[in-house]
Amino acid sequence: MTSNIAGDVTDIDPISLEIQWQRLVAIADEIDTAVIRTSFSTIVGESHDFGCAIMDASGAGLTQAQWSPPQFCTMLPRTTRDMLKKFPAAALEEGDVLATNDPWIGSTHLPDYNLVSPVFHKGKLVAFLGTVAHVSDVGGHLGDLEASDMFMEGTRLMPNKFYARGQVVPIVEEFIAANCRVPEMVLGDLHAIVGTHRIGIKRIQEFLDDYRLDDIESLSHAIQGRSERALREAIAALPDGVSEYEITADGYLEPFTLRIRLEIRGSDLYMDFAGSSPQQWHSAINAAFNISYSTAVYPIKCMLAAHIPNNDGLVRPLHITAPEGSIVNCTFPAPVKARAKVIKHIPPLIFGALADLLPDEVIAAAGGIFPFHIVGQDARYGRFAVHMLPHGGLGATQDADGLLPAAYPHNSTVTPTEIIEKQCPIVMTRKAMLTDSGGAGKRRGGPGQEIALRHIGREPIMLTIRPDLMKYPAPGLHGGDAGALGDVFFEGVRLERFVPIQWQPGEEVVLRVPGGGGYGDPLERERADVQADVTSGLVSLEAARDIYGLDVRFDPEELQLEAIRACVENRFAD
């Protein structure tokens, strides 16, 4: 190891450190699993829209559950430290649980509730457990995109004790319950999370007992020091220099532009968003800084420190700034509910800025996600609030085609069709990959998908959809084409505005979630790969000819049959 790199390595030996660190990761994982198993909402239980992290007594991030979305776990320590300003360590007692959904303190939109529990050991505060989860409802209008300030979007709980000394604080519980549409579900999730914290606290105490530790200070120091040092070494190995990149995206009522200036200087990496569009007061796509910051950390970690469990040591070499009042650092009380529309463009922005320097580490832009939300009441189904997060295709990389529809850069699962249809009166009539939706390239972008839904109930229900990439597609890299645009049709009419829809029985909605960007010149794509795409139906004959330059003097029907024979023979060699 080079000695001119900052980052402390303390005297804790590498074997004890490995063992104790892994133990903390295992504790975070156990909490994560327990959250899924005890949750009430589909958005937590099925979509995995939550994160768990362990922090030290100062609120510095030590580890996260391996499956938790990366942004949540970079934000949680920041949120915790902000909450500690109001409730300093001395004001906390065993069994307390702090809660907030404030967008500027927490994870930047109201549905995300942050719960943080202090962990005491032998009377001393030694750590914090934090969980952030997207709850099913926080009141406010049912819309997603159109709002003129945050107050329209629901109710805000400033940092407060949700539990005090192990007992729920009635006024806080009542406040939450009284201001949302599905109180049992929301409180069910929040109380379940408190239950998982109890498990986690016990585990941390057992851990300290096992190693006869009074606290985790030196462990925390070692974890962060080693991680920082490893990341600094990776940065220092890159040449110093400056790179800039920009992406223009749909926004909602008007497009916006994100700009980044990325500078590598020694073992530090600077990312500045100056020149990005200003915040908007007519649509709820603004991102408060916490989420922009944590989303900017993600691509760097993927490229330079993929195998190091997330902790705050990994953010120390990164210097991220954004002008106040910009769309990536909006000010109170800008509307923020659909900030995903902006922040999903941050990873491709950063990968774009590093595409020349690290061509084999970057990934083209992804098709993203079209969340939809169904709320209503029906004699046979009762009251329901169902979320579904269908994803678009991923971007291509230097060595591989983009993956099929999948969560990115967050991590979530799509709610099964059968679960949705058990809960509310709809029938999904199609959920299929879309032909020609992955951006063409030497490596093709991942295909997007089409989802069609029909209302089979007897009462109108409220449908909220938040599409993206309907005007500006997911860009490719190094000569790869952009993915196909997204679309939403309601009874055959293409929608432009996304206020909540009164969905009448019998009506049909079609979502086309976009594909990912391609990588490299499509003309350089292996001919066999193009032909395989044609026969499997992911690329049309026309696109194969016009974009990939494939010689298509063949009968498509015959080709299809031949392909079936070939695919059977190749795949099932006896």
Partner 1 sequence: MPAQLNLSSAELAFSLSSTSRRGRYRLGFDIGGTFTDFVLIETDSGQITSYKTLTTPQDPSKAVIAGLQELLRNAQAAGDDIETAIHGTTLITNALIERKGAKTALITTKGFRDILEMAKEMRYDIYDLLMVLPEPLVPRLLRYEVAERVDGRGRVVEPLAVADLVALKPHLEESDIDAVAVCFLHSFTNPEHEQQAVAWLKNELPGVSVSVSSEVAPEIREYERMSTTVCNAYVQPLTERYLTRLQRDLVDSGFRKQLYLMLSSGGITTVETAAQFPVRLIESGPAAGVLAAVFYGEKTGVSNLVSFDMGGTTAKMCVIKDGRPIMSDDFEVARVHRFKRGSGLPVRVPTIELIEIGAGGGSIARVDELGLLKIGPESASADPGPACYGQGGVQPTVTDADLLLGYLNPEYFLGGRMSLGRAAAERAVQSKLAEPLGMSLIEAAYGIYQVVNQNMISATRVHVAERGADPRKFTLIAFGGAGPVHAHQIARELKMQGYICPAGAGVASALGFLTAPVAFEFARTHIAHLTQEKLEDLDVIYAELEREGRARLAEAGVPEEQMSFVRKADLRHIGQGHEIVVELPFDQLADVALDDVLRPLFYSEYEQIYGYAHRHLGVEITTCRLTASGLRPQINLEKAETATESLSAAQAIKGERPVYFRELGGFVDTPVYDRYQLRAGMNFAGPAIVEERDSTAVIGPDADVHVDIYTNLLVTLKYE
- 421 interacts with partner 1 by CB under 8 A: yes
- In the bound complex, what is the minimum distance in angstroms from residue 86's beta carbon to partner 1? 27
Residues 62-121 within binding reach of partner 1 (CB under 8 A): 66-67, 69-70
Query: CA-CA distance, 486 to 365, in Å (whole number)?
Result: 14
Residue 342 in tokens: 């902006």
What's the min distance (Å) between Cβ of 422 and partner 1?
A: 4
* Secondary structure letter of residue 111 according to DSSP: T
| Segment lying near partner 1 (by CB under 8 A), choices 84-92, 196-204, 481-489, 543-551 | 196-204
The interface mask with partner 1, positions 346-385, x = CB under 8 A, is ---------------x-x----------------x-----
Question: How far is 111 from 101, CA to CA, in rounded Å?
Answer: 7
Nearer to partner 1, 198 or 261 (CB): 198
Q: Interface with partner 1 includes 405 (CB under 8 A)?
A: yes
The nearest distance, CB 246 to partner 1, in angstroms, is 22
Write out the H or E segment, with its range, that includes residue 194.
helix 183-210
Nearest to 516 by CA among 318, 407, 386, 367: 367
| Dihedral class, residue 506 (left if φ above 0, else alpha if ψ from -120 to 50, else beta) | left
Minimum distance between the CB of residue 282 and partner 1, rounded to whole angstroms?
32
φ, ψ for residue 117 (rounded to 5)?
-115, 130
When asked if residue 404 is in the footprint of partner 1 (CB under 8 A), the reply is yes
Q: Which of 9, 125, 169, 523 binds partner 1 (CB under 8 A)?
A: 9
The pattern of x and - marking residues 270 through 309 that bind partner 1 according to CB under 8 A reads: -------------------------------xx---xxx-
Q: How far is the CB of 326 from partner 1 (least distance, A)?
A: 27
- Out of 400, 504, 524, 541, point to the residue binding partner 1 (CB under 8 A): 400
Binders of partner 1 in range 213-272 (CB under 8 A): 226-227, 229-230, 233
Q: How would you classify residue 434: left for phi > 0, otherwise alpha for psi between -120 and 50, otherwise beta?
A: beta
Q: How many CB atoms lie within 10 A of CB 218?
A: 15
Structure tokens at 458: 């007897």
Task: Name the one range near partner 1 by CB under 8 A: 29-37, 464-472, 478-486, 494-502.
Answer: 29-37
The helix, strand and coil proportions of the chain, stated in percent and rounded to the nearest 5, come to: 30, 25, 45
Binding to partner 1, residues 38-67 (CB under 8 A): 38-42, 44-46, 48, 66-67
What backbone phi and psi angles, to 5 degrees, belong to 508?
-120, 140
Question: Which residues have C-beta within 8 Å of that of residue 347, sequence separation ≥ 6?
Answer: 295, 298, 299, 365, 408, 409
Closest distance between partner 1 and the C-beta of residue 381, in Å? 8
